[in-house]
Amino acid sequence: MTIADPRDTGVQRLPFDLARIRRDFPILKREIAPGVPLVYLDNAATSQKPVQVIAELTRFYRDHNANIHRGVHTLSVESTELYEAARAKVARFINAPKTEEIIFTRNTTESLNLVAHAWARKFLHEGDEVVISEIEHHSNIVPWQMLRDARGIVLRYIPMLPDGTLDLDAARKIIGPRTKLLSITAMSNALGTIVSLEVLVPLAKAQGAVVMVDGAQSVPHLPVDVQALDIDFLAFSAHKMLGPTGIGILWGKMALLDAMDPFLGGGDMILTVNMERSTWADVPAKFEAGTPNVADAIAFGAAIDYLDALGMDAVREHEREITDYALRRLADVPGVSIFGPMDADLRGGVISFELEGVHPHDIGQVLDTRGVAIRTGHHCAQPVMLALNVPATARASFYLYNTTDEVDKLAASLQEVTRFFGGGR
Amino acid sequence: MEDLYREIILDHYRQPRNRHAIESPSCSADGSNPLCGDQVTVAVVVDGDRITEIGFSGQGCSISQASASMMTEYVRGRTVAEARAGVDAFQQMMTTGTVAGLEGFDDIDALVGVAKFPARVKCASLAWKTLEQALNEGGAPVTTPVTTDERNSNG
Ligand SMILES: Cc1ncc(COP(=O)(O)O)c(C=O)c1O
């Protein structure tokens, strides 16, 4: 049975049926040891893939494989059409005004670096300020530090408050007339904090700054509409939203993309080449030098179809419920302290925690023997660890296929960890 | 799991030996695994060619801290050459997964199981590499090479 979506023609909505969803993910049937089923709680790192995506990848290689934009033969035409159809799906998914504004990259990191190279190096000058935050992933810190060292721009950080949210009062002081770019995550991968873009974006816009959003965690888990957000660039990765590895997205406003120089030079990105000089192809080809990752882009289209059919509101609601349940369940486990906001409305499905007297590595290792996969370490967000004054945390992160039973398994396994290491320092 | 967390390891973790500061060390070094947050400082007193005192401090997982405790027990009272041989033997154990047979100190053999958990080898090696660094004359802090499974950027 399908339910028609009132807002959107064309997309057939499916009810959010957890049992059916889980059947779509073959890996969820895996056992980590005989009789120990996988409990996959490392979704902020990468998500699992449904059969629909895996099948699309195989179908492409089996039935259509050819290079795109090059041949007149049937397979090349089909490949090109499938690749461009995937681009259109991505555009619709984030409500981009134009399909050509979608650029296929390798991942969020490359998308952020593309803007740092092709936009910021051209348009920012010494003394211009780039504002980021203390809760960024390293991929939204390091490119700006490199730019600072190369170009003399000033890098400023919006600080984090003890509850893991950003200090908006400080942001009002930091974002000023010298701010030329606000590059900010929409959701922290380390703490799950949902960032108040509705406050920060207008602050930056009022100063005439460009706004880039790191959507690596938000686009997979929340409804995202680039026009409603009033932003200029958005970066995200397919692999965190049911898609394959090796595909990322940069969306940018056409006027900005048009004004930028290419990122890489080579085939597919030129209009003409003679021995003196070349002219650039139009966006998006200008930014897609060389043979792109055709198969994975097309399979990503299948991932988007999957999410579209469920509806991102339903995905968010499921994750909000799981997170709310997990926050309460984990708070009851003796010795557990949770970092970040305690209100599931303020965070995505990410819970960083510590367990008294047990190092995160040891937690992760013991949990693995129970089939429970979590991440331990600094989560590529060392400034957050510094602010929390911990060397590392343990992190459980959820997606649309996780269940409250799995949260119960996590909680029970944590109690075993405490028992096992009991008496530790 | 019992392969990794032998009782003797947990014992060293809970009751670390030689976990104290050294008044005036001959040399010392800091080591860390930035990716996991393990951290160890090793300080030694060398008298002639003999290590007469050794102490460590630090924080980290049970493997890194237990290994540090065992290392200090092994090294204390031995010559610098013997200590260096111990470092080599320990590295050997981590790569081959066969017990080091470090003469007169069986506790260390309990760490042989770590060799089966590539992600944890650097935890176990940290204190030993830090000792080596200290003996090479307390120079640059040791950062044990990062193993591939920890190098991921996947937040
Ligand atoms: C918030 C955030 N930004 C950026 C990244 C980088 O993504 P990728 O490794 O796919 O480039 C991640 C995850 O790794 C993330 O969670």
Enumerate domains of chain B plus CATH numbers. 2-137 (3.90.1010.10)
Please say if the pLDDT value at position A235 is more than 60.
yes
Chain A's closest residue to B63, CA to CA, is: A362
Provide the 3-class DSSP secondary structure of residue B155.
coil
Percentage above 70 pLDDT, chain A:
97
Q: How far apart are CA A300 and CA A57, in angstroms?
A: 9
Convert the pLDDT of each residue in A306-351 to its tens digit: 999 999 999 999 999 999 999 999 999 999 999 999 999 999 999 9
Looking at this predicted complex, what is its ipTM? 0.77
User: Among the atoms of ligand 1, which is closest to the Cα of residue A237?
Assistant: 10
Taken as a whole, chain A contains a residue count of 425
- Kindly list the distances between the CA atom of residue A409 and the CA atoms of A114, A328, A332, A418, B149, in Å, as whole numbers in the listed order: 41, 14, 14, 14, 25
Find chain B residues with C-beta within 8 A of A365's C-beta.
Answer: 1, 4-5, 117, 120
What element of type H or E holds A198? helix A197-206
Enumerate domains of chain A plus CATH numbers. 54-309 (3.40.640.10), 311-421 (3.90.1150.10)
Q: Tell me, what's the pLDDT at B155?
A: 44
- Determine if residue A379 is left, alpha or beta; phi over 0 gives left, psi from -120 to 50 gives alpha, anything else beta: left
A321 C-alpha to ligand 1 centroid (Å)? 24
B121 C-alpha to ligand 1 centroid (Å)? 26
Query: Considering Cα of A17, then A23, then A24, then A30, what sign does the dihedral take?
Result: positive
Q: Which of A32, A108, A359 to mutate to test the interface with B (most CBs of B within 10 A)?
A: A359
Task: Average the pLDDT over A72-83 and give the result.
Answer: 94
Q: How far apart are CA A115 and CA A187, in angstroms?
A: 20
Task: Average the pLDDT over A390-409 and give the result.
Answer: 96
A264 C-alpha to ligand 1 centroid (Å)? 21
Taking chain B, what is the end-to-end CA distance rounded to the nearest angstrom? 26
In which band, very low, low, confident or very high, does the pLDDT at A72 lie, cut at 50, 70 and 90?
confident
Q: How far apart are CA A351 and CA A398, in angstroms?
A: 9
- Under 8 Å between Cβ of A167 and A200: no
Please say if the pLDDT value at position A2 is more than 70.
no
Amino acid at A277: R
Please say if the pLDDT value at position A396 is more than 80.
yes
Q: What average pLDDT does the structure give for chain A?
A: 94
Task: Average the pLDDT over A275-298 and give the result.
Answer: 92
Provide the 3-class DSSP secondary structure of residue A253.
coil
In which band, very low, low, confident or very high, does the pLDDT at A12 lie, cut at 50, 70 and 90?
confident
Measured by CA distance, the residue closest to atom 9 of ligand 1 is B154
Contact B62 A359 (CB under 8 A): yes
Contact A365 B10 (CB under 8 A): no
Model-level pTM?
0.90
Catalytic residues of A, by residue number, are: 380
Contact B13 A361 (CB under 8 A): no
The minimum CA-CA distance between B140 and chain A, rounded to whole Å, is 21
Contact B155 A425 (CB under 8 A): no
CB atoms closer than 10 angstroms to residue B79: 14
What element of type H or E holds A185? strand A179-185
Measured by CA distance, the residue closest to atom 7 of ligand 1 is A108
Q: How far apart are CA A137 and CA A316, in angstroms?
A: 22
- Provide residues with CB under 6 Å of ligand 1: A 44, 107-109, 137, 139, 185, 189, 214, 216-217, 237; B 153-155
In which band, very low, low, confident or very high, does the pLDDT at A271 lie, cut at 50, 70 and 90?
confident
Contact A425 B4 (CB under 8 A): no
Find chain A residues with C-beta within 8 A of B120's C-beta.
Answer: 361, 365
Convert the pLDDT of each residue in A190-210 to its tens digit: 999 999 999 999 999 999 999
